[in-house]
Amino acid sequence: MKKVIGLFAALLLALLLGLYQGAYACVGHWLYETVTDLEATLYGFEEHRVDIGEMEWVLYRNDNAGKPAIVMVHGFSADKDVWPRFAKHFVADFDVIIPDLAGHGDTGFDATWDYSIAAQTARVAALLAALNIEQAHIIGNSMGGYLAAQFAISYPQQTLSATMVDPAGVSFPQPSEMYQLIAQGDNPFFIENRRDFDRFYPMTMAQPPYLPKVVLAAVAQKYIERREQLEKIFNDFHGSELLDDQLSQLTAPAMLWWGDQDRLLHVSAVPVWQAGVPQLATHVFEGIGHMPMVEIPQQTATLYRAFLDGL
């Protein structure tokens, strides 16, 4: 406890010094990285680096090798830090693996890499092989939900279950606010200034967890700096083949979640998934946006635990 108190005292001192010296965004970035790493550690996760040949992946993992594995996959422009508050509920009984996908987080970006869903899915399979894991439950949000479904279709023998959380990957009967903007030539993910970020951030969640202004400034600055990288990643994965005609091949136990206030990917796609995937358990959350596992981590963890216990 003394170490934790000492660390937070150091964080506060660094924050005050940084603000005094005018390094607002830099301090926010350091504060965010330090606190999220500390939080993951307190929940039982350690950061690992795994070489899959093409690249070295960075991931969180608890010390439960040999127990049933769960792979938790973040969405476009996010990273592994969106999962620990949800994932902490599974550290006792599962081998939890939370990677930074290629192009994201600490795994980093390379302009020569392929960021299509097929390529990212193959990398997850390579990661499991490198970790000597034969089968896994896979849960993914947004682009990660697209990947989770593609993994279950492409690697059925390695899939214990697939859970898609507000996923991309199929046609949408009704365009979301994001897709209406994209149709006008305005992708809200491609951020050039703080005003763009202040418009974009509320679209990501209806009930976001609290973040100090200094941290939001750092997140905004990171999006601005990564604009060209995000455009490359988006174009690669957005050009991937949709799964509408392949959904019947998703035969693993499957669950779909959606927030009815999702402004990035419209909830109208739920019937598309239900019509395509056999025996799909579906849960639509009222008043929740694009990231239910972040907005209501306890409630979604309870739901996911019940699903896994029932397999």
The per-residue pLDDT for range 260-297, each reduced to its tens digit, is 999 999 999 999 999 999 899 999 999 999 999 999 99
Helix, strand, coil tally for the chain in percent (to 5)? 50, 15, 35
Confidence of residue 210 (pLDDT cuts 50, 70, 90): very high
Confidence of residue 192 (pLDDT cuts 50, 70, 90): very high
- Strands 95-99 and 56-61 come out as antiparallel
Quick one: which of 172, 165, 160, 161 has its CA closest to 144?
165
Mean pLDDT, rounded, of the chain:
92
| pLDDT (tens digit per residue) in 58-110 | 999 998 999 999 999 999 999 999 999 999 999 999 999 999 999 999 999 99
**How large is the greatest C-alpha to C-alpha distance in the chain, in angstroms?**
58
Query: What is the predicted pLDDT for the residue at 154?
Result: 98
Do the beta carbons of residue 172 and residue 267 sit within 8 Å?
A: no
Is the pLDDT assigned to residue 191 strictly greater than 60? yes
Through-space distance between the first and last CA atoms of the chain, rounded to whole angstroms = 39
Confidence of residue 24 (pLDDT cuts 50, 70, 90): low
Type and span of the H or E element at 299? helix 297-309
Q: What are 227's two structure tokens?
A: 């604009």
Confidence of residue 301 (pLDDT cuts 50, 70, 90): very high
Q: pTM, whole model, 2 decimals?
A: 0.92
Is the pLDDT assigned to residue 216 strictly greater than 70? yes
Please provide residue 154's backbone torsions phi and psi, each rounded to the nearest 5 degrees: -80, -30
CATH number for the domain formed by residue range(s) 50-309: 3.40.50.1820
Quick one: which of 168, 166, 186 has its CA closest to 177?
186
